Amino acid sequence: MQQNSTILIVDDEQFGRDTLEGLLHNQGYKLVFARSGPEALSKAEMVTPDVILLDVMMPEMDGFEVCLRIRANPRLAEIPIILLTALGDYNSRLTGIKSGADDFITKPFDAIELRARIHTTTRLNRYRRLKEQRARFEWVVEQSDDGYLVINERDMILYCNAKAQVYLELPDDDKKEVGCSFIEAIQHQHYEPHPFEAWTTWPKIPYDDLSVPRYLVRPETSTAEAFWLQVHVFEGPARAEAGRIIRLRDVTQQMTLQRDMRGFHAAVLHKLRTPLTIATSSLQLLVEHAHQLPVDEIIGFSKTAYLGVKRLGNVVNDVLQYVHVPTLVKPEEGFKILQLEEVLSQLCASLGLKNVTVANLNHLKDTQLKLSRHAVELILIEILENAKKFHPNQNPSIDVSVSCVGSEKIVLKISDNGVTLSPDQLRKAWTPYYQGEKYFTGEVDGIGLGLSMVSSLVWGVGGRCSIYNCSPGPGVTIELVLPLA
């Protein structure tokens, strides 16, 4: 029995329509009726039936004419048509075939034969439609700029399109049989999965956790910028039986643009403000009181304004250099850990933070990060600004410490005594630009952390980010694992 198949019954006689309705009643079909050829064409346009039972002998427009018009309509041309006729001669059947009929049933009907013919026709038609839809889908997927894979419950790749083959450097096989797991494929290409917590249960992701954005990052090197793939996981139509669909989207340009825009914003706020204020204040005093001031004070204010403008020019050049050369990794320059205390002191002065302690860094005197000074400054600005912004009195106590992890990485911990975060806030804190920020203010509505830029900078060089509540609280600790040069 074909469930939900629609059958259009076309017969000008009420008796004929009633007979067919009685034979097909309770067979799982949706029955639609037409009393003439023109009405049949109109109803076919409205319901697009799975099969048409069409009487040949009708006034005004016979079944052959109706069949010809249906075949001439691109929207209806593929619908199977079964002609109902009392004519058994060869010429009538030949005319029906030329008109485009798929089958014939001769009156009076045999109930078993009629049901069997319709059952077979609807089943074959649905199979044909499914094949056509699958062929169209595969064509679209193969032309897509996104990579698509299907994995089973054991994480084995069952299918991948051409773009996924490129992203993961999988064999170009027409059968699309890869023979490896998805995790093996990304490890082979040296992708880093982020955020780490979102991948811990892979491939057994809870159904309500499928929408959490995940990323694969090929870290930046001295010869190549970071490459970002955003990973979306979709449940198949039959859940586990159909496998899960993975979409890989290249978001490198988006991530770089967002990072650079936010970096520019941070640089403007924290580097331009001080020299601009100094120069403006000095010039304002000269404009308003120069005629009352002695020469030596005029010279002093002029010198201060000049130095402020000169400093401002240097900062502008630094910002423009960062914007035009947005690299994170500078092996010829790097960032020495011993510079950390100096950078923190400058940033804290700019932010008005007084209660900041830094652990002794002398044991790390020869340690140098892959990150450029620009990148380190942007990371620290974001974290320190958040610590102040979300402290109840905007006056947090902050502890900074650095320790080594083997010979290739260091752990930078920054703890404050501000707010305690919910599990959901902790889980989403690192998601790059997931909710979007209208003006890149560092405040994501509902979370208010804006640590997305930090994650993009750290992940982009192969590092790792963690955030957890202090115990005992209040406050949070941000832990960054950073690779050494």
Q: What is 144-250's CATH topology?
A: Beta-Lactamase (3.30.450)
Average pLDDT, integer, range 238-257: 77
Lowest mean pLDDT segment, chosen from 358-362, 444-448, 464-468: 444-448
In this prediction, residue 248 carries a pLDDT of 93
Torsion of CA 285, 288, 294, 296, to 10 degrees: 30
b/e string for 313-351 if b means 16 or more Cβ within 10 A? Answer: eebeeebeebeeebebbbeeebbbbeebeeebeebbebb
- The pTM for the full model equals 0.55
Extended beta strands in 152-213, E state: 157-160, 192-194
Write down the CATH superfamily of domain 5-140.
Response regulator (3.40.50.2300)
The fold for domain 253-326 equals Helix Hairpins (1.10.287)
What is the arithmetic mean of pLDDT over 290-309? 87
CATH 3.30.565.10 holds for 327-485: yes
- Mean pLDDT: which of 166-180, 231-245, 392-406 is highest? 392-406
Q: Range with the lowest mean pLDDT among 275-279, 416-420, 427-431?
A: 427-431
Percentage of the chain with pLDDT > 90?
Answer: 17
pLDDT digits (tens, 9 = 90+) for 137-182: 777 777 788 999 888 888 888 888 888 988 998 877 655 556 788 9
Bridge-based pairing state of the strands 103-106 and 397-405? unpaired
Answer yes or no: are the C-beta atoms of 212 and 196 closer than 8 Å: no
* 122 against 316, higher pLDDT: 122
Give the mean model confidence (pLDDT) for residues 209-235: 83
For residue 418, give both structure tokens: 């501000």
DSSP 57: -
What was the pLDDT predicted at 51? Answer: 92
Please count the residues of the chain: 485
Cα distance between residue 453 and residue 386, in whole Å: 12
Predicted confidence (pLDDT) at residue 449 exceeds the cutoff of 70: no
Q: What is the mean pLDDT of residues 295-299?
A: 88
Boundaries of every domain in the chain: 5-140, 144-250, 253-326, 327-485
- Provide the pLDDT for residue 331: 53
Residue 26 has pLDDT above 90, yes or no: no
- Per-residue burial over 82-119, b if 16 or more Cβ lie within 10 Å, else e, is bbbbebeeeebbebbeebbbbebbeeebeeeebbebbb
Contact 322, 256 (CB under 8 A): no
- From residue 336, alpha-carbon distances to 89, 270, 364 in Å are 97, 21, 9
- Residues in a beta bridge with 464: 481
Q: Residue 399: its pLDDT value, please?
A: 93
Long-range contacts of 320-324 (CB under 8 A, 24+ apart): 322/260, 322/263, 322/264, 322/267, 322/374, 323/260, 323/263, 323/264
pLDDT at 439: 41
The mean pLDDT of the chain is 81
Interatomic CA distance for residues 100 and 71, integer angstroms: 7
Supply the pLDDT for residue 435. 42
Return the closest-CA partner of residue 24 out of 43, 11, 7, 4: 7
